Amino acid sequence: MNTELTGVIVTFLLTVLLAFPLGRYIAKVFRGDRTVTDFMHPIERFIFRFSGIDPAKKMNWKDFLKAMLTINMLWFVYAFFLLLFQDKLPLNPDGNPGQTPDLAFNTAISFLVNCDLQHYSGESGLTYLTQLFVINFLMFVSAATGIAALVGVLNGLKEKTTNNLGNFWSIFTKTITRILLPLCLIVGVILAFNGTPASFDGKDTITTLQGDSVQVSRGPAAGMIAIKHIGTNGGGWFGANSAHPLENPNYFTNMVELIAQMIIPIAMIFALGFYLNRKKFAYVIFGVMTVGMLCLLIPTIHWEVNGSPAIAHLGVAQPTGAMEGKEVRFGPAASGYWSIVTTIISTGSVNSMHDSSMPLSGMMELLGMMINAFYGGCGVGILNYLIYIIIAVFIAGLMVGRTPEFMGHKVEAREVKIAAIVTLFSAFLLKAGVALAAYFVAHHPEMDWAVKPGNWLNNPGYHGFSEMLYEFTSSNANNGSGFEGLGDNNIFWNVSTGIVLILSRFIPIIGPVAIIGLLANKKFIPESPGTLRTDSVTFGMMTFAVIIIINALSFFPALALGPIAEYFSM
């Protein structure tokens, strides 16, 4: 067990050590400084010329959002029709069928918004063509969209007074060519050399130790698994995701995939400090997020390594911890670490089955997604945290009797209203969805859908409620992981979560971009002795308190009906 805990600590420390220079590099890329990837400039120039884009054109916040939203709408239509007709297209050696309209609707939206909620089984639900040209493609562009939105916000904060958030197309393209592609190349090669498939062959027949003959799916998986983690996407090539031995072959690849999914979210915090020349502010953000992560992580590892109370009551020893739903090659400590990492950021990949987690471990996973701002996804994690900062600035300003200010700009009613709408609307989507699901389970259990709602839940009672709560929480947080005791491939779940997915992705992006666009256009106010410093430990503690209070008020009743009640019933 000490070895397992050492592995967790080493993995996190390596992530931070690698993220710091990466953050410096990212800041240089978007400042236009010379970097080692300048050889990509001719390719970028060709893309701009071919697409008719002027990369030097300035954009205000409305132009920036217009460019982002219109291209995302186009990608959705493209993905939807390819998924619908994938059985009639090439690169389908296993003869997989096309998706139903409601499943294609859910899948296209899910990967478009960086959630990667999969209501299909990876190797049997898609063809090689749609895995590559829909799923892989959307994994790159969704991650780049989030990072581009954050860089636009940083451009608004960088100048004293400006109406220019930068050029979305230029930032978006550089994100792919200078950041995502190089990192994915490194991770993909590591995975391929450790046994992850990287070919276009169809299923292979193998004989197990028991003498059974089974069909094992293959395909060009290594590249997809690289961007799945680098871009905090999370969708698996195989149905079992990173619990699958071909998707995550050994403990070394487990460490690589953990580092890969955390490195950009943490690096973007340091990049913020370098880009704005406010390193102390970045360190405060990193400190608050790390404390938040540890508050979720330490109890989770404790519960998982100590095993299940229900099994202990039977007199069964659990020397290796709670191993139900976990891979022996990883163990409970590394699985607990992954379960928190993947839910505090928006990856949602799994190396164990979250449905088998201890009840309070499941609560920590839910809280990580409900808060959605401890590191968070590529770019969007800091955007979510910015909403909490605006609320904290407003409350702190009222407490000291001064007009709230953030980075030299007055925070007025419009900005606070936008922040409040984003926060409240997120909680509304989650809880309204769960209430609707619970109503249908209770009152219409035999409606004739693809999977009858009577078969939605493998578990009744508190855990069944947690399964429904987890599904909408995961959708609302653009996470994609699940309590897989839920039969989710039916019209209700595909359509309802699809609507939640698209609203909960773009409203939390539109809100911060609009807030900074409004702030940046105001007159700059120099710091004075009475200015509230947002780069102090005190303000960091204030922001942390705001995060805890808002989420406790919003979600404690739902958690009490699910994982907390389940814990006390064991």
Q: Tokens for 454? A: 């009577």
Q: Which helix (H) or strand (E) holds 215?
A: strand 213-216
Q: Which residues contact 255 (CB under 8 A, 6 or more apart)?
A: 7, 10, 11, 14
> Residue 157's pLDDT is what?
92
Q: What is the largest CA-CA distance in the chain?
A: 77
Cβ contact 267:147 at 8 Å: no
DSSP bridge partners of 409: 406
d(CA 116, CA 480): 5
DSSP for 117-182, written as a single string: --SS-HHHHS-HHHIIIIIIHHHHHHHHHHHHHHHHHHHHHHSSS-S----HHHHHHHIIIIIIHH
Phi, psi dihedrals of residue 192, rounded to the nearest 5°: -60, -40
Q: Do the beta carbons of residue 417 and residue 528 sit within 8 Å?
A: no
Is the separation of the CB atoms in 115 and 347 below 8 Å?
no
Q: What is the pLDDT of residue 80?
A: 97
HSE at residue 24, side-chain half, CA atoms within 13 A, is 6
Q: How far apart are CA 320 and CA 137, in angstroms?
A: 40
pLDDT of the residue at 336: 95
In the chain, what is the straight-line distance between the N-terminal and C-terminal CA atoms, in Å? 25
According to the model, what pLDDT value does residue 454 have?
A: 61
Residue for token digits 């619990």? Answer: 243
Euclidean distance between CA atoms 492 and 500, whole angstroms:
12
- Name the one residue in this structure whose structure tokens are 């994938």: 86
What is the full DSSP assignment across 407-467?
TTEE--HHHHHHHHHHHHHHHHHHHHHHHHHHHHHHH-TT--SSS-GGGSBSS-HHHHHHH
Q: What is the pLDDT along the chain (570 residues), one digit of tens a residue?
A: 678 899 999 999 999 999 999 999 999 999 999 999 999 999 999 999 999 999 999 999 999 999 999 999 999 999 999 999 999 999 888 888 999 999 999 999 999 999 999 998 878 889 999 999 999 999 999 999 999 999 999 999 998 889 999 999 999 999 999 999 999 999 999 999 999 998 888 777 888 778 888 878 888 899 999 999 999 999 988 888 999 999 999 999 999 999 999 999 999 999 999 999 999 999 999 999 999 999 999 999 999 999 888 888 888 888 888 888 899 999 999 999 999 999 999 999 999 999 999 999 999 999 999 999 999 999 999 999 999 999 999 998 888 777 788 888 889 899 999 999 999 999 999 999 999 988 888 787 776 665 666 666 777 789 989 999 999 999 999 999 988 778 788 888 999 999 999 999 999 999 999 999 999 999 888 877 767 788 899 999 999 999 999 999 999 999 999 999 999 987
Single-letter code of the amino acid located at 248: N
Q: What are phi and psi of 408, to 5 degrees?
A: 85, 10
* Rounded CA separation 512/419 (Å): 8
What's 563's DSSP letter?
I
Residue count of the chain: 570
Yes or no: say if 114 and 232 are a contact pair by the CB < 8 Å rule: yes
Q: Checking phi first, is residue 461 left (phi over 0); if not, alpha (psi -120 to 50) or beta?
A: left
Write down the pLDDT at residue 450: 54
* Cα–Cα dist 263/271, whole Å: 12
